């Protein structure tokens, strides 16, 4: 009777053990799949953040800089002279050309006289035919907005050109020609390369209409089959990879990242490692189940209990969870951390002028917007280095750069490093949250210190002209009022400063002061 009962237990326990093993295997695979999907989601979220950061910190500012440059050029055109066949190039073009520090050209194509003007001056080759250039087709368009055209191959070379084009009309609404500004194509390509670093993923820009490629990095990683890479997530990324797309806010382009399948294989290996321990435990359960046929019931029951206890003890589960988290995100978190640190460093670099080391125009606009939002009073002071063009023309740009560096250093020491900015070639600015008396005293000190500088290359003195306006007294036209005061200083012989008379003068002070 007892032997019969034991045999019946064997037949009952053996299939139950196999069923339990199957359930454990299914549960293990489901948990592993869920963990891997969470890993994929976190990885994609990190790259989505990177796309947003590239758009906000670099591409947006670069596009706006090109638009501002073209706006300055268009306002400077003498349309009546152009209509008579005269050159469109004027003195403003040289200033606008300095907005960007890379090699680029400014063009105006006069449709009435089939004339192409450029700055810097470019001698048109004899075999150059305007009608055969790719940008010429924009004449057939009725689009009055700014047009980004390209990339297309430059004439007589292999470099790629990307241009911002504006149709210019005379006062009667008749077309005069096309105003064109080269975009920072090389800078854009270098920015994509820096953003990706050593990460094996393709980062590229496409046109929103037609998905035509504009520029990219690691393009060899894109799939050979034509068409847009798959945008799916989930386990499909193991076979097809993943494609992320972000529409850029200021231009009809899309910023794309393609993560090849190999990008996810490392995480998959980690996840599979997480399955090994449960699989070995499952194998032990099945082996114990087979031993039920040759061993007595109680011994087999003890083995099964030990195996099961190893799975259900709280301490063991906590250890598995700890290791699961380490395997789950170890590779991806390290890579995302590197990208984040790289972007943070890039953002910091984007806010500083590489020549002088002080903050640049981008930082000036951000800090001025922050001060205006806070609502507290502050002064905007604009500076020009007097006769700086003569320094460059007489002693060269290397000496000119040294002048700018030393002037910026004196400004940072006198007014505070966190409050001075280089906003143009020889143009500086300061945001000073002080009372009028302190601003006057600091400006007097600054101009005196700059004037007292000794120069090895020449014996003349370098001087500054300055003008300032106060917020909120001149809030409606703060920069315009500061600029007016700056030019008042220039008209009165330079090497002096003027402050806006809008703000009430302090006791014992005059409204407009010069030194």
pLDDT band for position 181 (cuts 50, 70, 90): confident
Above 80 in pLDDT, residue 470?
yes
Contact of 270 with 327, CB cutoff 8 Å: yes
List the structure tokens of 437. Answer: 């008396």
DSSP annotation of 432 reads E
The torsion angles phi and psi of 244, rounded to 5 degrees, stand at: -115, 140
Least confident of 44-48, 459-463, 470-474, 477-481: 44-48
Q: What gap in Å lies between CA 386 and CA 393, rounded to an integer?
A: 14
Q: What is the mean pLDDT of residues 443-449?
A: 94
CA dihedral 52, 348, 359, 253 (to 10 degrees): -20
pLDDT at residue 504 in the model: 40
pLDDT at residue 156 in the model: 74
Query: What is the DSSP pairing of strand 427-432 with strand 420-422?
Result: antiparallel
Chain mean position to CA 484: 34
pLDDT at residue 283 in the model: 66
Report percent pLDDT > 70 for the chain.
73
Q: What is the mean pLDDT of residues 335-348?
A: 57
Domains recognised in the chain with CATH numbers: 77-186 (3.30.450.20), 359-499 (3.30.70.270)
pLDDT at residue 481 in the model: 93
Q: 43-49: long-range contacts at Cβ-Cβ below 8 A with a sequence spacing of 24 or more? A: 43/259, 43/263, 43/264, 43/267, 43/332, 43/336, 44/233, 44/242, 44/244, 44/259, 46/332, 46/335, 46/336, 46/339, 46/340, 47/201, 47/244, 47/257, 47/259, 48/244, 48/246, 49/340
pLDDT at residue 384 in the model: 93
Above 80 in pLDDT, residue 407?
yes
Q: Quick count: other Cβ atoms within 10 Å of Cβ 310?
A: 12
Residue 475 CB partners (closer than 8 Å, separation 6+): 372
Residue 456 CB partners (closer than 8 Å, separation 6+): none
pLDDT at residue 2 in the model: 45
pLDDT at residue 323 in the model: 43
Q: What gap in Å lies between CA 195 and CA 54, rounded to an integer?
A: 8
Residue 201, CA distances (Å) to 3, 208, 222, 259 in order: 67, 21, 9, 5
Least confident of 6-10, 286-290, 304-308: 304-308
Residue 305, CA distances (Å) to 16, 28, 189, 314, 317 in order: 14, 19, 63, 15, 16
Q: What is the mean pLDDT of residues 2-26?
A: 67
Above 90 in pLDDT, residue 497?
yes
Q: Go through the chain and tell me how many residues it has.
A: 515
pLDDT at residue 487 in the model: 93
Above 90 in pLDDT, residue 410?
yes
The residue among 430, 413, 433 whose CA lies nearest residue 421 is 430
Above 80 in pLDDT, residue 502?
no
Least confident of 6-10, 56-60, 258-262: 6-10
Contact of 362 with 60, CB cutoff 8 Å: no
pLDDT at residue 297 in the model: 44
Q: What gap in Å lies between CA 406 and CA 356, rounded to an integer?
A: 8
Structure-token match 């009809």, residue found: 252
Above 80 in pLDDT, residue 382?
yes
DSSP string covering 267-289: HHHHHHHHHHHHHHHHHHHHHHH
């Amino acid at each position: 009777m007892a032997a019969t009962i034991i045999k019946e237990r064997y037949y009952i326990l053996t299939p139950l053990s196999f069923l339990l093993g199957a359930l454990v295997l299914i549960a293990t695979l489901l948990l592993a799949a869920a963990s891997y999907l969470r890993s994929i989601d976190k990885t994609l979220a990190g790259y989505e953040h990177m796309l947003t950061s590239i758009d906000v910190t670099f591409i947006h500012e670069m596009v706006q800089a090109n638009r501002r440059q073209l706006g300055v050029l268009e306002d400077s055109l003498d349309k009546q002279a152009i209509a008579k066949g005269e050159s469109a190039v004027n003195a403003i073009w040289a200033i606008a050309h300095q907005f960007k520090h890379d090699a680029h050209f400014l063009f105006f194509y006069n449709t009435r006289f089939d004339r192409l003007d450029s700055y810097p001056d470019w001698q048109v080759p004899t075999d150059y035919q305007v009608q055969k250039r790719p940008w010429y087709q924009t004449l057939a368009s009725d689009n009055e907005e700014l047009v980004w055209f390209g990339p297309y191959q430059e004439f007589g070379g292999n470099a790629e050109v990307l241009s911002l084009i504006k149709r210019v009309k005379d006062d009667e609404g008749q077309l005069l020609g096309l105003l064109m500004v080269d975009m920072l194509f090389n800078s854009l390509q270098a920015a994509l390369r820096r953003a990706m670093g050593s990460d094996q993923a393709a980062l590229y820009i496409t046109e929103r209409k037609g998905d035509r490629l504009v520029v990219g990095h690691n393009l060899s990683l894109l799939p050979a089959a034509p068409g847009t890479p798959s945008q799916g997530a989930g386990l499909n990324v193991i076979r097809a990879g993943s494609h992320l797309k972000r529409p850029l806010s200021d231009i009809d382009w899309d910023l794309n990242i393609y993560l090849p399948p190999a990008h996810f294989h490392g995480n998959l290996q980690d996840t599979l490692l997480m399955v090994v321990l449960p699989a070995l435990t499952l194998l032990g359960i099945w082996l114990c189940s087979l031993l039920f046929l040759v061993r007595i019931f109680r011994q087999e029951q003890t083995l099964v209990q030990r195996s099961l206890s190893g799975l259900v003890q709280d301490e063991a589960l906590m250890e598995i969870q700890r290791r699961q988290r380490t395997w789950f995100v170890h590779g991806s978190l390290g890579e995302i951390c590197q990208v984040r640190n790289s972007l943070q460093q890039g953002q910091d670099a984007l806010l500083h002028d590489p020549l002088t080391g002080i903050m640049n125009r981008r930082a000036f606009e951000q800090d001025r917007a922050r001060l205006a939002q806070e609502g507290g009073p502050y002064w905007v002071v604009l500076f020009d280095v007097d006769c700086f063009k003569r320094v460059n023309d007489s002693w060269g740009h290397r000496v000119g750069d040294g002048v700018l560096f030393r002037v910026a250093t004196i400004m940072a020491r006198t007014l505070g490093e966190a409050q001075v900015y280089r906003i143009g070639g020889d143009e500086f600015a300061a945001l000073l949250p002080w009372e009028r008396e302190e601003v006057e005293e600091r400006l007097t000190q600054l101009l005196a210190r700059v004037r007292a500088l000794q120069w090895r290359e020449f014996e003349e003195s370098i001087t500054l002209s300055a003008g300032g306006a106060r917020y909120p007294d001149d809030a409606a036209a703060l920069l315009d009022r500061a600029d007016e005061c700056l030019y008042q200083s220039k008209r009165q012989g330079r090497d002096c400063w003027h402050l806006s008379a809008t703000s009430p003068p302090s006791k014992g002070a005059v409204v407009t002061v010069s030194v």
